[in-house]
Structures are given as C-alpha cells and as structure tokens.
Structure 1
Amino acid sequence: MRYCDECGAEGPSTTIERPKTFTVRGKEIEIQQTIAVCDKGHKVYDEELDNASILLATHKYAEQYGMPAEQIHAVRQQYGIGYRPFAKIIGIGSASLRRHESGELLPSETHLDIYKRLQADPGMIHKYYQRHKGKLSTREQKQAENVLASWQASTSLTIESIQSDEEIIEAIHRPYESTELTGYLSFNLEKFIHMVLFFTRDGVAKTKLMKLLWYADFMKFKRQTVSISGAVYERLPFGPVPKDHEITLAHLQHMNVIRIEETIINDEGWTMMSVKASQQFDPSYFDVHELDILREIEYAFRNYGSRKISDYAHQERAWIETPSEHPIDYKYATDLRELDMM
C-alpha cells in the first residue's frame, strides 16, 4: 500500500519501467527507471525505488564518462597498499577514496585523472610518492618504499596492506592515551567498536551517532572518573565528535563493522548519511555500569534528530569553552547535564 498525492488516498500499487533521463554532472544519462503507480496510473512516491534510480544513473555515468568503482579499487590493489597510506600518496582523502571504490561517490575530474593515469601507467605511483611522501609518517614511508620496490620488481605482488584498519584507528588516539583527553585510559578499540554497534543496531544518522558516543564516554567519566573507550573527542561546528571521525568510520566500514548509507534528500543534491551495524553487538565487553550508561544515553536521546542533539550539545560547557578543532578535555564532564529520562 502506498499513498498517492494525486488521488489523496492510500491504496494498492504496482511497479512499471519507463525511460528516464537524468543529468549527472552536465551529462544526460538515460536509464530504464522502475517506478510505483497507483491503480489509476499515477506515480506514487517510493524512496527505495527513487534511490535505486539515482544510483543506476550514477553507475551508468561512471561507465560512460568516468571509471567504474571496481576499476578504481583495482588501481589501488595492484600495489598492495592500504586505504590510508595510498590516499596520502596520491593526495586524496582516505574517506573519499573508500567511497570512490565502493561506488558511493563519483570522483571529481581531478581525482578521476589520477586514477586513469595510474591505470594506464602504474609506474606513475613513484612520482606521486615523491610528491606527497612528506604526508606519510616515517613508518609509513619506510613501508611504502618497501612495497613499491617489491611492486617494481614483480607484477604479481601479494604484500599485505601497509597498516591494518585496526592499527590506523588506534593510531589516532595513541598519542593521547592515559591522559585527561582520553579519560585516563588507553584507547580500547573493541569497546569503541561495540559502542558504535550498540547505537547503530537499528541504524542512526551519522551526526547523531557522534554525539551519542561522546555523551556515553563523558557521562561515564562524570560518574566514575574514567571513560568507557578511552577515545579522544574534538570540537567541530556541529558538536563533539571522535577525533578524525571520517577516517574512523571509513575504516570501520572497510572492516565490515558498519555500513554507511547516503540518501539524496532534495533536488539540490543535499544528502543524509546514516550508519547501520553490520555485526552483532556484544554486551560482554562492558561492565554493568557501562551498559546502564549506554542504555540511558540511547533512551534520553531517543526522540532527538541530528539537529536537536547538536543544539543540545552546544549548550554544554565542554563545547562552549573548547577552541574549534581542538580535543575536548574530560574535565568538562563534571559540568555535563544529567540525562532527562522522561
């Protein structure tokens, strides 16, 4: 049953196919679009079908004018280099690279040119490395040089990625471990992962997820002077978020912990990002007090959307007094408002 605006009523519907032309980056792309129609033949709204049409048009554009996602993935795979170091070498954000490889995002003309150059002439990687190696850590530089030297000597390279997803996430928080910026703990990746899994069991907006994680860690510190996960959070315009959250989410998706879905919500191209768990939440990682806090946070903000929870967080002293893009000191947890459980 679907609601028909033309008929002003809900009723049965069927699906039909029709030709439809989309304009993608100035190019007209024709597809066979599947739509829902009521029993009088009027088109009725179906978000899933509309999203599928947009995705089909995007993929067809990539095939005709760009590079399919699987080919972009193959460009990186030929070197045996992981997401993060490869992105640094070619000068592309690691989150963007992941989305290019998954087909979620079309590469810009600049990024597409890089992929095509490396596809046509794999040896170009050495030029990109020399140009951008200053962005890599000493460890990454050494490993990259070993990988690229091996690749140059053999076209059948089977070397593992320079850094695992787990190592990359842990490295974000390691410089701050056991300080007031981590709640006096070393970062616990498994706890952090299962906090994410707890809040994304039924799917949640990305912006809201960031605030739920922050409130959970800081509320635990307020009550027991230690955080749950040992994660570092920083102040960004839309509120507190885990440090380098885009990188973290990209690698959690690569680990198949979560999946990130992007939905176009209007004709101007505005999108909504949501996060859904891909694995089961395991409560055994937490003690009874930590589980109670996770449940309290989820319940207290159950009716909050991304905008409302961001506005709520903006009233916390932690956000008001921390400079933009700086880590948030857990000392501010003492002033955190207690949860409204009504």
Structure 2
Amino acid sequence: MNGGNLIRKIKMECPLCDKVHEIEKRTRVAKTIIKGEEVNYEETYYFCLNSDEDENEFSTAKMENENLLNARNEYRKAHGLLTSDDIVAIREKYGLSQVDLAKLLGWGEATISRYESKAIQDDAYDNMLRIINDNPLAALDLLQKNNEQFAGIKKLAIKQKIMENLDEEGREYLQRKALESEYVEFEELSDLNGMMKLNIPKLELVISYYASKIKKLYKVKLMKMLWYADSLSFKFYGHAMTGLVYCHEDMGALPVGHYKIGGLQFVNMEEECDYENVKYHFLPNDKLDESELSAEEKEILDKVIEKFESYTAQQIIEYMHDEIAYKKTDDKDIIPFSLAKQIRDF
C-alpha cells in the first residue's frame, strides 16, 4: 500500500479502473527540481485501491497546479522570499485586485497574477512588496506617484484602506509632512519666514504654552497671537520664533498651512459645534516641557498673553488691522517680517 497520509475518502469515477468507488485523497513529501535546486514539498494526489501497484495514483490538473505552487513556495521559503500566500495577504491588506497592486507598484498588469500562481519573483520585486507591507506610508507615496493609473473613486478607496493600516505614529508623520509640504518654497532663511525655518516642535510648544494660560483659546485668536509672538521675536532678536509664514487675510495674519496645524502630533485641538458653526478650541498638552522655551521666548509669549488674554477674536482682528504690517500689504500677500519692526508697543 502507498505510504502517503490519508486525508479523506471520496466516492468518484476513477480514471484508472473506470469504476465509481471510494478513492483516497493523500499527501506525501515529494521532490522536484526548481531553478537547478532539489526542493522537498507536500504533494497531494488520489490513490486507487483497485488498481495495480504500478499504476494506482493520479491527480487532476488543479492538483498538479497546487502541487507545483507548493514546490515553488518551498523554494521561496528557502531563499527568504515571500510566498504566494504572503503576496495575496499583502494585496488583501490594502483591498487591491491583482491588477490594482501591479499598477500601484508600477509593474505590468499580469505580474502579480503570475507571482500568486506560478512565477517566482526576484529579490528586487520581493523587496518592493515587503516595503509596502511593512510601511503603509510607502504605499501611499506610490499611490501618489502612480495616481494616473486609478480612477477617482478607486483612488480614494485605496487611499482610505492605506490610511486604515497606518498606526498612530504614521498618521502623525503624515500630518507633519502635510504642513512641511506647504513650506517647501520657504526653506531658505528670508524676510518672509523671519529668518527662521519652520520649527514644528517649537510651534507645538508655543501653542500649548498659550493654551495653558488662556482657557478659551480658539483658532482665530491663536493665529493672531502666533503672528505677534513671531513678530516681537523678529523685532527684538532678528529672527522669528516658529518659522511660520503669514499671509494678509480679511481676519488679519494667517499662517500658510494654518488648516493643518491642528492635526500636528502634540497640538491638542477639539472641535466644538455652535449651532451651524464649528469652532476649534486649543488646549495645553501636558506631554510637552515648557522649560524647553528659553527665558527670552517666555518673556515674549507672556507679553502677548498679557495684551490679548481678554480680547475677543473680533477685537484682536481689529487691533491687527491697524498694524503697519497689515496696512502696507494687500490681500493674500505674504507679510514680510521687516514690517514687524514697526509693530506697536504693548
């Protein structure tokens, strides 16, 4: 009798004896040659008890494909490559079809189908698959790079699935990168950024410091207080505090990328609904250490707090409208810090 392991018995028409009877489905360890190497793998086959010993085994086309895939996967494991099941899992992790994953990676449309069924990927392709599996941010970058390959709805669905796989650290990284992307053209020290590159940790610290002193600190008022802190720092010390760049808007100075500030890792912001309006309430973050602010920086921040603590949003807007820096710039213009030297004393 054959030495394979019995899986189950199946009643079917046997192609060996041409009779309908119970046939045994079995597995065993077999050997084959793949890329010049001998590989041991699990082989599945049917065994007929009624046939001669020399011809008592057979397999279907589906079985043969599965057996060959098993052999290839054993070769992959021996060489540290992803198995076909691993590749399927990566694809399903992001809700992608075989063609979608190939497009995301910039490969031929049939590539993933081949890797999941018969072909063995080389190291370069394997590394790309591992990268997007380990790092959803890399998958997001590839989606942006190859976005023309996807229709609008499909692209949004893929992006949403990628975002679901980002851990908290990854989402925070995205928020930081989103704000930094707004400042690409302001990387050189200039009058526009107050001779200071964008300093997100300092910005987070300043916001938390303000919020610790002012209980009801909302976005409109905060944005103006940031401008005053940076302007006073530039006036007294020749450089701004946060590196923010400010635009002339109807409500006064508004930082470039202001709508992305609330999503920063160490910025505590809560949305509050007031009838049909949404207000953004900023709160202190006890994870930040105020001692990282210099004495000079605290002195400036305390001056701004003392001046505007009791101001409403409308009052601080009107106050800023009277600043030379605002009067000498037009709507949507960037407010140069050189004009901050003419800021009113308080």
Q: TM-score, normalised by structure 1?
A: 0.51
Aligned to 2:293: 286
Report the CA distance between 1:229 and its aligned residue. 1.1
Write the distance in 2 (CA, Å) between the matches of 1:172 and 1:226.
Answer: 20
Using a 3 Å threshold, how does the CA distance of structure 1 residues 223 and 139 change in structure 2: closer, same or farther? farther
Report the CA distance between 1:246 and its aligned residue. 1.4
Write the distance in 2 (CA, Å) between the matches of 1:285 and 1:231.
Answer: 19
Unaligned runs of 5+ in 1: 1-77, 81-137
Aligned to 1:172: 182
Aligned to 2:282, what secondary structure does the other structure show? Answer: strand
1:214 aligns with 2:214: no
Using a 3 Å threshold, how does the CA distance of structure 1 residues 311 and 167 change in structure 2: closer, same or farther? same
Write the distance in 2 (CA, Å) between the matches of 1:271 and 1:259.
Answer: 12
Write the distance in 1 (CA, Å) between the matches of 2:331 and 2:165.
Answer: 43
Aligned to 1:229: 242
Aligned match of 1:141 in 126, 140, 144?
144
Write the distance in 2 (CA, Å) between the matches of 1:170 and 1:270.
Answer: 28
Q: RCO (CA 8 Å, sep 6+): is it higher in 1 or 2?
A: 1
Amino acid at match of 1:141: Q
Aligned to 1:319: 326
Aligned to 2:310: 303
Aligned to 1:116: none
Report the CA distance between 1:257 and its aligned residue. 2.2
CA contact (8 A) 2:246 2:334 kept: yes
Using a 3 Å threshold, how does the CA distance of structure 1 residues 144 and 203 change in structure 2: closer, same or farther? farther
Aligned to 1:183, what secondary structure does the other structure show? Answer: coil
Using a 3 Å threshold, how does the CA distance of structure 1 residues 182 and 264 change in structure 2: closer, same or farther? same
Report the CA distance between 1:180 and its aligned residue. 0.8
Write the distance in 2 (CA, Å) between the matches of 1:143 and 1:193.
Answer: 34
Aligned to 1:200, what secondary structure does the other structure show? Answer: helix
Aligned to 1:212, what secondary structure does the other structure show? Answer: helix
CA contact (8 A) 2:261 2:267 kept: no
CA contact (8 A) 1:197 1:280 kept: no
Write the distance in 2 (CA, Å) between the matches of 1:144 and 1:217.
Answer: 38
Aligned to 1:52: none
- Structure 1 stretch displaced more, 274-283 or 218-227: 274-283
Report the CA distance between 1:227 and its aligned residue. 0.6
Write the distance in 2 (CA, Å) between the matches of 1:158 and 1:264.
Answer: 33
Aligned to 2:343: 336
Write the distance in 1 (CA, Å) between the matches of 2:146 and 2:211.
Answer: 35
CA contact (8 A) 2:269 2:280 kept: no
Amino acid at match of 2:144: Q
Q: Deviations over 1:70-115 (max 9, x none)?
A: xxxxxxxx859xxxxxxxxxxxxxxxxxxxxxxxxxxxxxxxxxxx
Amino acid at match of 2:181: A
Report the CA distance between 1:220 and its aligned residue. 0.6
Aligned to 2:271, what secondary structure does the other structure show? Answer: strand
Write the distance in 1 (CA, Å) between the matches of 2:149 and 2:292.
Answer: 38
Using a 3 Å threshold, how does the CA distance of structure 1 residues 225 and 256 change in structure 2: closer, same or farther? closer
Q: Percentage identity across aligned positions?
A: 25
Report the CA distance between 1:211 and its aligned residue. 0.6
Aligned to 2:116: none
Report the CA distance between 1:305 and its aligned residue. 0.8
Q: Deviations over 1:54-79 (max 9, x none)?
A: xxxxxxxxxxxxxxxxxxxxxxxx85
Aligned to 2:270, what secondary structure does the other structure show? Answer: strand
Report the CA distance between 1:174 and its aligned residue. 3.2
Query: CA RMSD of the aligned region, Å?
Result: 3.3
Aligned match of 2:200 in 189, 192, 195?
189
Aligned match of 1:198 in 184, 206, 209?
209
Report the CA distance between 1:303 and its aligned residue. 1.3
CA contact (8 A) 2:192 2:245 kept: yes
Using a 3 Å threshold, how does the CA distance of structure 1 residues 285 and 256 change in structure 2: closer, same or farther? closer
The alignment covers a number of residue pairs equal to 197
CA contact (8 A) 1:219 1:333 kept: yes
Report the CA distance between 1:140 and its aligned residue. 7.2
